[in-house]
Amino acid sequence: MKVRIKFRKYGVMKFIGHLDMMRYFQKAMRRADIDICYSEGFSPHQIMSFAAPLGVGITSDGEYLDIEVHSSKSSKESMAALNQTMVPGVEISGYVRLPDSAKTAMSIVAAADYVLSYKEGYPVMHTRTEWEALLQEVFFEQPSFVIMKKTKKSEKEIDLKPLIYDLKVQGTEEQPEFYIKLSTGSTDNIKPELLLSSIYAAAGLEYDANAIQIHRNDVYAEEDGTFISLLDMGEEILNS
């Protein structure tokens, strides 16, 4: 049976990297007595994969991992068992059964949405109204928004406009924040801080990464031109 688990990551746990989170969940599966499947061979490991690993320092309400199990209790019971093993800063918020033919979350991720807000004690730079006007000028009114994206081996020019599905300023007039929905995945993986820092540069402003808190809302797959939350691709397990 294939199972998809959704979890939140917040507080001090935002500083824990992806590899450590993998080890953490491997131990959590054993402690919660999840009947997880193991690979074959001389060094068996739990069959588990994560969707779109989160960068260090970013909080999230939409993190996912897929596992395979021999059997499972109900979604409600399994979530309760896992949450009993969680440390403060990690919370299981979804547990659904996937169709046998379902692809892994890692392979189908197409988009993610984020809220970027100013941390306490850092200057806000502009009001919400001023930011809306700046976005209109440097991004929306432009036919393209070409930036230089660095890769591990080189750097290349890329037009961000086709890869940004939603961009707006929200929050209050004095404490604006940015909502961004953008392409995520193996093909066109755009980080929200890349877009915001590029907007700062286009507006002639200096970007301070330490001033911005990034929060991921959710991760999506694409079906027939529509973005679907990864959790909605499964169904709740009602009985043990």
Mean pLDDT across the chain: 93
pLDDT, position 155: 82
Q: Are residues 91 and 127 located together in one domain of the fold?
A: no
How far apart, in whole angstroms, are the C-alpha atoms of residue 50 and residue 28? 15
Per-residue pLDDT for 52 more than 90?
no
How far apart, in whole angstroms, are the C-alpha atoms of residue 76 and residue 28? 16
Is residue 115 situated within a structural domain? Answer: no
How far apart, in whole angstroms, are the C-alpha atoms of residue 194 and residue 197? 5
For residue 27, the domain's CATH number is 3.30.70.580
Is residue 9 situated within a structural domain? Answer: yes
Average pLDDT value for residue range 123-137: 94
Q: Are residues 93 and 179 located together in one domain of the fold?
A: no
Domain extent for 54: 2-106
Backbone angles phi, psi at 237, to 5 degrees: -90, 115
pLDDT tens digits for range 165-184: 999 999 999 999 999 999 99
pTM of the model: 0.92
Q: Are residues 7 and 70 located together in one domain of the fold?
A: yes
Is residue 238 situated within a structural domain? Answer: no
Q: Which of 167, 146, 143 is nearest to 156 (CA)?
A: 146
Q: Are residues 6 and 48 located together in one domain of the fold?
A: yes
